[in-house]
Amino acid sequence: MDEDFVEWTPFRPFTRESLFNIERRIAEEEAAKRAEKTKPESEEDDDDLEGESRHEEHLKPNLKLEAGRKLPPSLEDIPPEFIGKPLEDLDEYYHNQKTFVVINKDKNVFRFSATDAIFLLSPFNPIHNCSLTWPTIFSLVVMVTILANCVVMANPSWQTPEVEHIFLGIYTVESCLKILSRGFVLQPFTYLRDPWNWLDFVVVSMAYLTMAVTTIGNFTPLRTFRVLRALKTISVMPGLKTIVGALLVAVRRLRDVMILTVFVLSIFALVGMQLYSGALKNKCIKNYKLFIGENATVEEIESFRSMEENWKLDNFGEIDVCGTGIGAGRCGNETDNGLKNGTLIYECLKGYGKNPNFGYTSFDNFGMAMLCAFRLMTQDFWESLYHLEEEARKEAISIMTKSQSNSSWNNELDGGVGGKAIVDMPEDKERLSVTSEHSVTSGHLRPGGGQKR
């Protein structure tokens, strides 16, 4: 009796009988579905069939037996003779689908289609069976090839056509073995049905396209696709697949956070559009009365104001931004230096020229406003944007912050010499009487040492 005893194992070789049983189960399932449509719904037999079909529909793939993952600890004791051989699928979810699995020496699961590969090779064809050994043998060769290819790409002097042809030949053999073992695209579990193989197919296809175009002429942009070869390591190493898959799942779980972030940015962008739309186009332009005379025609005045050499620049050589509101930038007109014979040298005018920073700093439309809001959120040179807004419409900032004197940039009223303010308007005098002590002491916080630009 001991000699006839055979230990039970969940691993069974995939044979013609196994394929016949799969086809029989598929036929029985299709017959049951047809019977459900023809029989009355009131019969008890129909209720039983409906319960069974619902039970099958609720089956889900076992994540522990997913392709590319290691066998769970309960199945790690696989007999050595089954390593690298076609086996019946271990997952009950696939019991009525034409598929089988191959397990390599590292106990990783690879799932294949049990249909004819490229319409020629059946699952039991010797050539097909030989191509199944690529997961256990060829993976290490491909990994070494990818590393060597990366080293060659890092040294331009080594990039000769002969070396490129060797690498391309190895990648082509790898793709051909996968296609012979899996099939191409029409059936489930075939080569292009696996998203990890899309990158391999693109890399090989672009390499051949580059060779074809090179014979006609030099087309350098296509050669940049060779950099994607380094990403082939993800499809070769099962551990990297797991890590990248986990990252992608984490990104999908952050979907609600991203939606909330975009929503909040949209609100701030709309607020910015209401407060600063068109304000950043305010320019300090020379007073035409002092330079071309008061009797100039309208065309001459517009031509004079449109010339950039007549616009005031700040200490950094950028076009100065001004405003007409309380505390906004006044083109230096709040001091005697801004006067010539009692007339203002510069006047603040709206709607001339482009927005600052080559037109990218703008609240004139929703897209640019979103970009500025994102810039403030990421603190990408946010102080420049804040200062431009302050120069254009400081009263809008005071509405949002509820205090004009608590800002570290609040120095417009501190004057140009010695920190002493020169105030012309009654509203400024009243406000400065309350906050003069803070305003004088906070002059060093603004870039430029407290001097008005």
CB atoms within 10 A of CB 90: 20
Cα separation, 436 vs 367, in Å, equals 40
* Least confident range of 185-194, 216-225, 282-291: 216-225
Q: Looking at 86-95, 175-184, 397-406, which range is the least confident one?
A: 397-406
pLDDT (mean) for 121-133: 78
Is the pLDDT at 450 greater than 60? The verdict is no
- What integer pLDDT is reported at residue 412 of this predicted model? 41
- pLDDT tens string 205-252: 888 887 777 655 555 666 677 777 777 777 777 677 778 888 888 888
Write down the pLDDT at residue 431: 39
What pLDDT is attached to residue 423? Answer: 37
User: Considering the chain, what percentage of its residues have pLDDT values greater than 90?
Assistant: 6
Predicted confidence (pLDDT) per residue in 156-185, tens digit: 888 888 888 888 888 888 888 888 888 888
Per-residue pLDDT tens over the stretch 350-379 = 888 888 888 888 899 999 999 999 998 998
- Banded model confidence at residue 260, pLDDT cuts 50, 70, 90: very high
Query: Looking at the predicted structure, is the pLDDT value of residue 440 above 90?
Result: no
Question: Would the pTM of this model clear 0.75, i.e. be above it?
Answer: no
**7-56 residue pLDDT tens:** 667 888 998 898 899 989 888 888 888 888 886 655 545 555 455 445 44
pLDDT reported for residue 434: 35
The residue ranking higher by pLDDT, 194 or 448, is 194
pLDDT score at 267: 95
Question: Which of 55-69, 97-111, 229-243 has maximum average pLDDT?
Answer: 97-111
**pLDDT tier for residue 452 given thresholds of 50, 70 and 90:** very low
Least-confidence region, from 145-154, 287-296, 345-354, 407-416: 407-416
Nearest CA-CA partner of 370 in 243, 448, 223, 264: 264
Residue 254: CB partners within 8 Å, gap ≥ 6? none
CA distance 125 to 120: 9
